[in-house]
Structure formats: structure tokens, C-alpha cells
Structure 1
Amino acid sequence: MLLEVAGLSRSFGRLRVIEDLSLSVQPGEVLGIIGPNGAGKSTLFNLIAGVLPPTAGTIRLSGRDITGLPPWDRCRLGIGRTYQVPRPFAHMSVFENVLVAAVHGSRASLRQGRRRAEAVLALAGLAAQQARTAGALTLLDLKRLELCKALAVAPKLLLLDEIAGGLTEPECATLIGIVRRAQTPDMAVVWIEHVVQTLRRIATRLAVLHDGGVLAEGAPDAVLANSRVQDVYLGTEGR
């Protein structure tokens, strides 16, 4: 198993955001995660990436307990992630942004980092824009750059946090194509998204978060057809 999360909980004062959550992800899998606002999706990513410490529970990557490791060590062990709002070094070039991620995110040498940056920019269709200042990019290209930075660390586990947000359907299809080209049998993707149709096109499995736990998981079509999921996710619960 690539990722194993067991009994994970996280509280902010009296507010329990994640409660006794368990899930696992295998190499080669694309796990889509959906849920209403406040369900704990981004908090879960912050726990896996090491931005937040859990109140309880364990996180294992390839069998190794990483629960107490800082974010930079988790990155170097193979966890790459994107953020809902792209975070480029706005005054640096596109190439420099990806090079920094490759060298500092995975301890690649400068030579290795350059090769990796060139490869992921070509894969994402950004090679022609590598000399541009990152702050001058369109929203789609900023999202592609965000994805390139995550891929530059050569991740075993790629965490995508609402990377399709704000994009049109054709633009979402562009991102799906990049992820498909980037994925290897050894790499898993966990993708949080509100654009359900985007996940439906690529996820091998879907999990629904609600009240800090997993409400349902399984094949995407079966999960989306679940009446309880529809009540919670579509906001019909309690009506």
C-alpha cells in the first residue's frame, strides 16, 4: 500500500474537523475526494503533507510512519502537492519556478533539476513559455505551472487540491490529460475537487467526506448514485 491513513483526527479547539478517518491508496490509483464545504478535505491534505499535525492517528507512506515528519521531509520522500490558489514565485520565470521545486523539493542536483524541469514543462505544454515571468501567466497556465512544480519532485503520491477550480470544461480536460501523461504505475494521485465531472473522467475510486469522516467510497458511478451521498453533497439533507 502506498498511503495508509488510520484513525486520523484533527481538532481546532473544540471544533473537530477530521474525526477517526481511515483510508488507503495503492500505487497507480487515482482517488477522487469530494464533499461539501467544511467536510475536512483541505485539512486532510494538510495532515498528509505535514502542514498540520494530527490530534490522533497515523499516516504511513510505503509502509513508513511519517506522522511526525515535517513537510520538507515528506516532500523528499515522494509527496508532491498543489494548492487551491497557485503559489508561484511571481517575479521568477516559469522554468526557474519548476527548477526550484525540483532541486529543493527532492534534493536533485542542479543538472538533474534542469532535466526534470524541462521534462515536466514539455509534458504540461509549457515549454514554449518557460522564459515568461510566472506572474504574467493566464489562470490555466498558472494551474499547469502549479502541477509542474508538484511533478518536479518526482512524487510517489501526488496531491491535487481543487486544481480545476475556475477553469472551463476544455481547460479541465487539459489538466486531466497532463495528469494521465504524468502518472506511472508506481505513482498514486489523490485529487480533491468540487468539479465532480472532472473527477468522474479520471478517478478509479471516489471517496466522499462528511463531518470529518468518510461517508462512502468505491467506484465513482456507484458512489455518486448513493442516495445518502446525494443528500449530503447536493445539500438536500434535512429538507
Structure 2
Amino acid sequence: MLELVSVRRHFGPLKVIDDLDLSVAKGDVLGILGPNGAGKTTLFNVILGVHPVSAGHVRFEGRDITRKRPWSRCQMGIGRTYQVPKPFSHMSVFENVLVAAVSGGQGSIRASRDWAVEVVELTGLAHRMERPAGELSLLDLKRLELAKAVACRPKLLLLDEIAGGLTDMECDELLEIIRGVHRQGATIVWIEHVIHALRRAATRLAVLYGGKIISSGTPDAVLADPRVREVYLGVEA
């Protein structure tokens, strides 16, 4: 579904992504780990087209999208959440989701309204539907961030530290929602520092360090990798 080939993203002399290769198969739940500053969010921005690549190619469903603009990639089926939720605070929960459904889904207004209602229910926000987004708790803001991304009908969903700041119980609730989205057919790439959440959800893990993937495989194999333990977990190899 997604392929990055020899991708580089440099900011002047700073090599944030450096000759990176990555592939994601349809149906995967790929967890991305890495210490702060490893280039994880920059990787998402490259996939979405927020940051143009300095070199290399990005392919989605076999098509080269390297030069596509972010909104085009969204309408092709790539959605994302942000580390810090970005709601339209003065608008209701439902209006936030409806905007995403209309903008990303490209359907009629009536179809978008019906889909927005379904997404609000899927993400556990039905009881908050008419509440202004600016009044939500952190958990509900995270749900809304996910709901906006899902409303765009993504084939590929990018989650950026969506479990950060949540309690274990809140994380469990969010994990169930993400599993529901996956069951509906979305392929997921998930950046996260909450390792126990990734370990429970991911079919595969990849560790980013120094702008490169240094380990990739099953969650148990990656977390046991001496290189990962050294650079990410702070345990000497």
C-alpha cells in the first residue's frame, strides 16, 4: 500500500530522514518507535506531503505521489492525526467531523452527514455530539482527532502519538476504537511512545533512529533487539 524508496528529508545540513526505505502492506498495523528527535513526525509529514522530499520517492497503491500536494493525498485515501489535537474549538464535535467527511470523503453533503454520524458513534463521541470541541477532555479530544481522520475515509491511517498523556484505562478505550477502525479495512501506521499499546495492536514494529530504520519485525523480536534496547530503551547492548 505504501512504499518509501531512498527517501531523504534534509533541513539545510540537518539530515532528519536519510536514505530511508519503508514498505507497508495492506492490512498492516505498523508501529513506529524511536527516541525524541529520531525523525518520526517528519516521516509522517513526508508521507502526507507537508514536507517535500529532498530525494527519493513515495508511492501509494503503486502510484508515485512524491509531488502530490497534501490535500490530494488526503483525497486519495491517506489520513492522519496530530500529536497535539487540532479541533475547530468553536464548532461542535459533529461539525468538526462533518467538515472532515466533506473535505476528505468527496461525497454528497447528505452522504457526508450520514457518515459523520457513523464515525461519531464509532469513536464513542455520540454523547458529546453537540458539545463545542473546545470544552472536551483530553481523552475526548483524542477521540475527536481520530474521528476527523477516520471521517476522511482513509485507506491508510497515520496515528501520531495518539495515546500520549492518557491513563492506562483511557488508552485501553482508545485501543478498542483503533481496532474497530482497522477491522473496517484501514491500514495503520502508528507512531507511539506508549510501548504496551503498540505491542498489543501492531502486527509489526519498526524503529527509527538517526533518520534510518535500524530494526523491523514482529513486536517481540524488535523489542528484544540489542540495538533497540540501547538507543531507545537506554539498556546497554
**Following the alignment from structure 2 to structure 1, what is the Cα–Cα distance between the partners of residues 44 and 229?**
24
Which residue in the other structure is 1:133 paired with? Answer: 132
Amino acid at match of 2:108: S
Q: Deviations over 1:164-186 (max 9, x none)?
A: 01001111111110011111474
**Following the alignment from structure 2 to structure 1, what is the Cα–Cα distance between the partners of residues 68 and 128?**
36
> How far did 1:187 drift?
2.2
**Following the alignment from structure 1 to structure 2, what is the Cα–Cα distance between the partners of residues 158 and 120?**
14
Which residue in the other structure is 1:81 paired with? Answer: 80
**Following the alignment from structure 2 to structure 1, what is the Cα–Cα distance between the partners of residues 87 and 108?**
21
Sequence identity of aligned pairs in percent?
61
Q: Say whether the 8 Å CA contact 1:36–1:210 is kept in structure 2.
A: yes
Amino acid at match of 1:48: I
Normalised by the length of structure 2, the TM-score is 0.98
- Alignment partner of 1:33 is 2:26: no
Trace 1:1-239 onto structure 2 (pairs within 5 A).
Answer: 2-184=1-183, 186-236=185-235
**Following the alignment from structure 2 to structure 1, what is the Cα–Cα distance between the partners of residues 69 and 236?**
39
Structure 1 counterpart SS, 2:107: coil
**Following the alignment from structure 1 to structure 2, what is the Cα–Cα distance between the partners of residues 177 and 77?**
26
> How far did 1:227 drift?
0.9
Normalised by the length of structure 1, the TM-score is 0.97
> How far did 1:109 drift?
1.4
Structure 1 counterpart SS, 2:230: helix
> How far did 1:236 drift?
4.3
**Following the alignment from structure 2 to structure 1, what is the Cα–Cα distance between the partners of residues 184 and 28?**
8
> How far did 1:106 drift?
2.4
Unpaired runs of 5+ residues, structure 1, are none
Q: Say whether the 8 Å CA contact 1:49–1:74 is kept in structure 2.
A: yes
Amino acid at match of 1:54: V
Change (3 A) 1:185 1:136: closer
**Following the alignment from structure 2 to structure 1, what is the Cα–Cα distance between the partners of residues 119 and 26?**
20
Unpaired runs of 5+ residues, structure 2, are none
Once the two structures are overlaid, the 10-residue window that deviates more, 170-179 or 180-189, is 180-189
**Following the alignment from structure 1 to structure 2, what is the Cα–Cα distance between the partners of residues 28 and 176?**
16
Q: Deviations over 1:118-141 (max 9, x none)?
A: 111111111111000000000000
Structure 1 counterpart SS, 2:220: helix
Structure 1 counterpart SS, 2:145: helix
Structure 1 counterpart SS, 2:26: coil
**Following the alignment from structure 1 to structure 2, what is the Cα–Cα distance between the partners of residues 201 and 184?**
15
Q: Say whether the 8 Å CA contact 1:82–1:163 is kept in structure 2.
A: yes
Structure 2 counterpart SS, 1:80: strand
Question: Alignment RMSD, CA only?
Answer: 1.1
Change (3 A) 1:188 1:158: same
> How far did 1:235 drift?
2.8
Structure 1 counterpart SS, 2:208: strand
**Following the alignment from structure 2 to structure 1, what is the Cα–Cα distance between the partners of residues 31 and 221?**
13
Q: Say whether the 8 Å CA contact 1:27–1:185 is kept in structure 2.
A: no
**Following the alignment from structure 1 to structure 2, what is the Cα–Cα distance between the partners of residues 79 and 143?**
18
> How far did 1:228 drift?
1.0
